[in-house]
């Protein structure tokens, strides 16, 4: 199948809910991917923060392949080793106590919302069920996750939403504290609002709201779906904010390219779900978890340090390029604000062999965490040449 055939068949048979780039990808390795003509691209997207170790990492392929050939699925009625190992590693590396597995970021967020409401119901009874989220947030496309998403652009057409969500202004302590009313059971935030334009929260703000949550027994939920799994230079971004959340959702990078979502439960919440309270047919799938174990074992301190260093290198290089107003983000989650429209630039980059993402009006970079200096430099050269020519 060549690109033209792919485009036509896709258009005939697949719902038009994605604005795709004109590119048919066929195979990849690390931070490089090929199209149907054999042209190679440098990848600064990692499948939107999913391919944490890049395309087809040898150890990950080996772990997934071996598990696939021995046991692909059992249901959650039985014990299997890979999901237990994944959960153990997640808890040991995060300071959290227990894990629930689902299949996506949105599903993980459904889980944290349900857990927060049950925790509050059992302790305080009815009427204390509001989830306070932040304006400009993104938590996923399912109805409750969408209800927690503080961007009108995602809300058109889909009313009515799940009840019991309120919104505070991100980085506005006064507004956030004022909205922690007696009906609120949890505060939900992304430390860096990814889809919202790679907007980081201030450390003082996060610490102050975390303290207020603790005082009022409002659960602190951190959505680490995009920021987690090493992306920001620590396994989870909250570890750089010196806070310990009560609930954490993660997904994207955890599976390295296969679907998985996870809820991490802290001391307060670890017993909130009993048998039958929550579930997922595919959750904790052994094949996906065998890959996740490899990823978690790979992300040791030296690996995370290298992510921080590579991120700092990219940030510094890009900040000095023409037309760049600022670069936001942490580690290898970066947003570039240009003094000109990003969209045409993104298309030119693609033509020149560099894949990047957008987030609102910015160019967003989520390179695979294993990218080499050489590959970074190749990508940076394409970016600089393109910006120079504007």
Ligand X SMILES: *Cc1c(COP(=O)(O)O)cnc(C)c1O
CB of 223 to ligand X, least distance (A): 5
Q: Does 139 interact with ligand X (rule: CB under 6 A)?
A: yes
> For residues 390 and 124, what is the distance between their CA atoms, to the nearest angstrom?
59
Q: Does 24 interact with ligand X (rule: CB under 6 A)?
A: no
Binding mask 182-201 for ligand X (x = CB under 6 A): --------x---xx------
Q: Does 147 interact with ligand X (rule: CB under 6 A)?
A: no
Nearer to ligand X among residue 106 and residue 116 (C-beta):
106
Residue indicated by tokens 């392929």: 61
Q: Does 140 interact with ligand X (rule: CB under 6 A)?
A: yes
Binding mask 77-106 for ligand X (x = CB under 6 A): ---------------------------xxx
Q: Does 251 interact with ligand X (rule: CB under 6 A)?
A: yes
Q: Does 365 interact with ligand X (rule: CB under 6 A)?
A: no
- Choosing from 43, 57, 110, 223, the residue that interacts with ligand X (CB under 6 A) is 223
Q: Is 226 annotated as a binding residue?
A: yes
Q: Is 106 annotated as a binding residue?
A: yes
Residue closest to ligand X when measured from CB atoms = 105
The residue range among 35-43, 122-130, 159-167, 220-228 that interacts with ligand X, by the rule CB under 6 A, is 220-228
Q: Show binding-site residues.
A: 105-106, 138, 141, 223-226, 280-281
Q: Show binding-site residues for N(2)-acetyl-L-ornithine.
A: 141, 280
């Amino acid at each position: 199948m060549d690109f033209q055939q792919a485009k036509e068949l896709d258009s005939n048979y697949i719902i038009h809910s994605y604005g795709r780039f004109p590119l048919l990808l066929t195979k990849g390795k690390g931070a490089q991917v090929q199209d149907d003509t054999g042209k190679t691209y440098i990848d600064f997207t990692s499948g939107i923060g999913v391919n944490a170790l890049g395309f087809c990492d040898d150890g990950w392929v080996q772990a997934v392949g071996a598990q696939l050939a021995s046991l692909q699925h059992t249901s959650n009625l039985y014990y299997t080793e890979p999901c237990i190992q994944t959960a153990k590693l997640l808890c040991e590396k995060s300071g959290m106590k227990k894990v629930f597995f689902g299949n996506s970021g949105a599903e993980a967020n459904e889980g944290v919302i349900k857990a927060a409401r049950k925790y509050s119901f059992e302790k305080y009874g009815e009427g204390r069920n509001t989830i306070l989220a932040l304006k400009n947030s993104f938590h996923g496309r399912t109805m409750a996750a969408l209800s927690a998403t503080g961007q009108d652009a995602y809300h058109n057409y889909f009313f009515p939403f799940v009840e019991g969500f309120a919104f505070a202004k991100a980085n506005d302590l006064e507004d956030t504290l004022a909205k922690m009313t007696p009906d609120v059971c949890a505060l939900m935030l992304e430390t860096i609002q990814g889809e919202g334009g790679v907007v980081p929260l201030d450390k003082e703000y996060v610490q102050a709201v975390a303290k207020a949550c603790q005082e009022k027994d409002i659960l602190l939920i951190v959505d680490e779906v995009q920021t987690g799994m090493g992306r920001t230079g620590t396994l989870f971004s909250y570890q750089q904010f010196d806070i310990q959340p009560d609930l954490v959702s993660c997904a994207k990078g955890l599976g390295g390219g296969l679907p998985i979502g996870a809820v991490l439960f802290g001391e307060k919440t670890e017993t909130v779900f009993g048998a039958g309270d929550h579930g997922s047919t595919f959750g904790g799938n052994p094949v996906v978890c065998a890959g996740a174990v490899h990823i978690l074992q790979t992300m040791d301190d030296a690996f995370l340090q290298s992510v921080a260093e590579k991120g700092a290198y990219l940030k510094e290089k890009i900040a000095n390029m023409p037309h760049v107003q600022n670069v936001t983000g942490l580690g290898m989650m970066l947003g570039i604000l240009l003094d000109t429209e990003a969209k045409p630039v993104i298309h030119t980059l693609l033509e020149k062999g560099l894949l990047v993402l957008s987030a609102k009006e910015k160019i967003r970079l989520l390179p695979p965490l294993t990218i080499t200096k050489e590959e970074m430099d190749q990508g940076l050269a394409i970016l600089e040449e393109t910006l120079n020519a504007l």
